[in-house]
Amino acid sequence: MSRVNKEIFRLANKDIEKLNLTVLQLFVLHTISKNPEIGLNELAEHLNLSKSKSTVSGVVDRLVNQNLLDRVASQKDRRAIVLRLTEQGKEKLQDYMNSESILSHKLNVIEENYHDELQQVIKFHNKILEILTSEEE
């Protein structure tokens, strides 16, 4: 499973590098697009990086400097700062979604040719996760 993850990550990196972004930067843009008005702490939780808030903060700083994100006062609580995609950030994310992705192409080949087997693997993977994450008895 670890080799599969490495290959997926490698191919995703190839696709994302064309946009001059990192995988984490793309995840940040995508997460903010799905959760408008999100704060930094909440973003870190969504990315499963709540213990690495400084990492998320650094990524956000770079995206702000690239004019892909804005920090703005929350409409609900003027003391709180939330993150929003700029028009340029929305365009960059849309460029990725519309790009000819190597990874997407290969995943489509797998889905089309091995749909049943893939469903079995997913089912088995979920069972393993269920067992590993259940409360110890």
Mean pLDDT of 76-91: 91
Question: Which tokens sit at 110?
Answer: 């797998």
| 137 pLDDT more than 60 | no
CA distance 131 to 137: 11
- Domains, the chain, ordered by start: 19-97 (1.10.10.10)
pTM over 0.85: no
Band of residue 136 on the pLDDT scale cut at 50, 70, 90: low
pLDDT, one tens digit per residue, over 15-66 is: 888 888 988 898 899 999 999 889 999 999 888 887 777 889 999 999 999 9
Task: Count CB neighbours of 120 within 10 A.
Answer: 11
Question: Which tokens sit at 134?
Answer: 């259940």
- Predicted pLDDT of residue 122: 85
| 81 and 39 Cβ atoms separated by less than 8 Å | yes
For the chain, percent of residues with pLDDT exceeding 70: 98
The values of phi and psi at residue 12, to 5°, are -60, -40
Distances (CA, A) of 108 to 6, 8, 72, 111: 18, 13, 39, 5
Which one is predicted more confidently, 48 or 92? 92
| 117 pLDDT more than 80 | yes
End-to-end CA distance of the chain: 27
Encoded amino acid at 116, one letter: D
